[in-house]
Homo-oligomer: A and B are copies of this chain.
């Protein structure tokens, strides 16, 4: 018997779970349209939902998190200030078109560098609900999120645009001019991390990706891995200055492995969280909100 339907709905991704009485997964859909694609459908978000999980929707409560609550989403909800936990997110659920939307979080809204997230807060809640302790959480991606939890609450976070800047540098600056595709080089990545962890202007240090190649000291099929390491190394070295407690990476595949390697180069053992943090967070927020 279905107790809850959970949806993690991002800009370019859609994942949904049909969950049973204990939050266990009864069924899963992983390839629905992100909000960019869904909003372009004739029937919009509602149609996207019916197309993908219409058969599940028999009155079972539905909870959704992610960029779906942003300005370009189904309904724009106000950001929740820090600190926050599952209970405060549950109190802030927005019921719209029959769906309970989890809102995002804002950090330092009136300060010189406000920051926002939508979706990652639910993944972190999922980790905390699963018995994960406090500490530092890193969620790699186009825009990485660094988040700190204390006393079971999310107390601080910041966004680092590493993934998107890497793409822009590789595809739209002189640094990509000599790049050739390759099988992937862990050595080049680690060498980049060593360059990235150094002091000095980042916009200066990245130039070594060109000069080393010009001087035949970096093979063309290793430039991209070196540059990736350099940017992630800079990110991790800066982030660790504020670190205390255990470090947990919430992410998957190659990107999570790259961050784990970068932490290792800097002498830190970081765990990669098991998959399912978003679903677990949705379940916990729904429980706290009395939806199930």
Contacts and interface: CB of A to CB of B under 8 A. Distances in A.
Q: How large is the interface on A (under 10, 10 to 19, 20 to 34, 35 or more residues)?
A: 35 or more
Nearest to A236: B201
Interface stretch (A15-23, A24-32, A167-175): A167-175
Nearest to A205: B113
A41 interface: no
A178 to B, nearest CB: 11
A215 B160 CA distance: 18
Interface in A145-190: 146, 158-162, 164-165, 167-169, 171-175
A214 B116 contact: yes
Contact of A112 (B143, B194, B199, B214): B194
A227 to B, nearest CB: 12
Q: Is the interface of A mostly helix, strand, loop or mixed?
A: helix
B172 A215 contact: no
A212 interface: yes
A207 B161 contact: yes
Interface in A216-263: 217, 231, 234-235, 238-239
A114 interface: yes
A33 B218 CA distance: 32
A211 B114 contact: yes
Nearest to A200: B238
Nearest to A164: B173
Contacts of A164: 173-174
B113 A195 contact: yes
A231 B169 CA distance: 15
B161 A203 contact: yes
Nearest to A231: B203
**Which of A167, A175, A203 has most chain B Cβ within 10 Å?**
A203
Contacts of A116: 211, 214
6 contacts: A109-B215, A115-B207, A115-B208, A160-B207, A168-B172, A172-B172
Ordered nearest first, which 8 A-B pairs have the shortest CB separation? A201-B238, A160-B204, A113-B208, A168-B168, A168-B172, A114-B211, A159-B207, A172-B172
Given A71-B214, A203-B231, 7 more contacts: A114-B208, A116-B211, A158-B204, A161-B173, A168-B173, A202-B203, A203-B235
